Amino acid sequence: MNAILAGKREPWFERLLLRMQAAITQYSMIGREDGILVGLSGGKDSLALLALLAVWNRGVRPLRACYVENRQFPQNKGSLEALGTFCALLRVPFSIREIETDVRLGCFPCSHARRKALAEEAVERGCTRIAIGHTRTDLVQTAILNLAHHGTLQGLLPIRQYFENAFAVVRPLIFLDETDIWRIVRRLDLPVQKSSCPLADNSERAKAAAILKALESMYPGAAANIARAANSALNLV
């Protein structure tokens, strides 16, 4: 990571960086005047996103990271320290916000509370963009869940604007797959932390991931086709 921050980027990293930049440009996700807040969960996606954004941004815009902790199942101190150390390496300010939701109510209330906490943090810090580490793989899993529960083949919007684009949630990794993220994690030795959520291994998204894995084993290329169909449903190219 130190070598990359010093400008010594290997071709594989450059390719993934350019792919993220293509998504940012194509969907006008981040302007030169936008402050960026990264939702840092400690998982592989958010860590890879922060690493890529730190290199891409080159200190041009304010860039921060925020971890949202649920008091019902707090993360251990060592994990939070590891995230803080990683942010310090990238010279990215790191903060923690707390929420409290009952795990017995499932994933949605917690997810909603986390988004609200990130929005509050962004407003307080003067950030106009919240960057989330969703990949094309997440897009496909979301499409599978929407098809199963609602009968619609819709994925994830690359950018969701609020208040006439004065504020937006963006997904810069939407052109990258899970395999790309694992490559970044392994090559850069990113400090991935285990989720403290007791539902992490049995969530709706975990079930969709299992379905997608089975589909890909039977029909190679299924993920790319589902992503294309989901984007068409949202009139995205």
The verdict on whether residue 138 carries a ligand-binding annotation is yes
Q: Which value, to the nearest 10 degrees, does the dihedral of the CA atoms of residues 28, 30, 137, 96 take?
A: -160
Backbone angles phi, psi at 49, to 5 degrees: -60, -45
The verdict on whether residue 40 carries a ligand-binding annotation is yes
The verdict on whether residue 45 carries a ligand-binding annotation is yes
Number of helices (H), then strands (E), belonging to the chain: the values are 9, 6
For residue 21, count CB atoms less than 10 angstroms from its CB and return exposed for 0-12, middle for 13-18, buried for 19 or more.
middle
Helix (H, G, I), strand (E, B) or coil at 132: coil
The verdict on whether residue 188 carries a ligand-binding annotation is no
The verdict on whether residue 42 carries a ligand-binding annotation is no
The verdict on whether residue 39 carries a ligand-binding annotation is yes
The verdict on whether residue 201 carries a ligand-binding annotation is no
Binding-site annotation: residue ranges for ATP: 39-41, 45, 68, 133, 138
Which residues participate in the annotated binding site? 39-41, 45, 68, 133, 138
